Amino acid sequence: MIKNIAVLGAGTMGIGIAHLFANHGFAVSLYEPNDALLPSIREKLLSMERADEHCEVLLFSELEKAVADSDLIVEAVPEQLTIKRDVYGRLARLIKERTIVASNTSTFALETLAEGQAVR
């Protein structure tokens, strides 16, 4: 059963995905590695929470904390192969065997993203 969801990447798509899941009662963690963007992302999340009383998204700048208890991970980092491969390489060492990983990519085949990674 999916209870905890992590969304990786807090751009427009990532925030929208996180908001959707949170609005439907899931515990959602949002990962954004760019510390310079965190204040503006926090402000967006606060305005979403004010608009939707059931919406709560926890924001993390550390991937390990964001995915710690996740049953589902949705990757929504920028459409740059090096960034995506870095994230998948790090995920391969962090996630539990039962965790489902999905991608929001519109550019790359999933095989390309997983190339050279330990896929379970």
What predicted TM-score, i.e. pTM, was given to this entire model? Answer: 0.90
DSSP string, the chain: ---EEEEE--SHHHHHHHHHHHHTT-EEEEE---GGGHHHHHHHHHHHHHH-TT--EEEES-HHHHHTT-SEEEE---S-HHHHHHHHHHHHHHS-TT-EEEE--SSS-HHHHHTTS---
Q: Tens-digit pLDDT profile for the chain (120 aa)?
A: 999 999 999 999 999 999 999 999 999 999 998 999 999 999 999 988 888 877 889 999 999 999 999 999 999 999 999 999 999 989 988 998 899 999 998 888 887 887 766 544
Domains and CATH numbers, the chain: 4-114 (3.40.50.720)
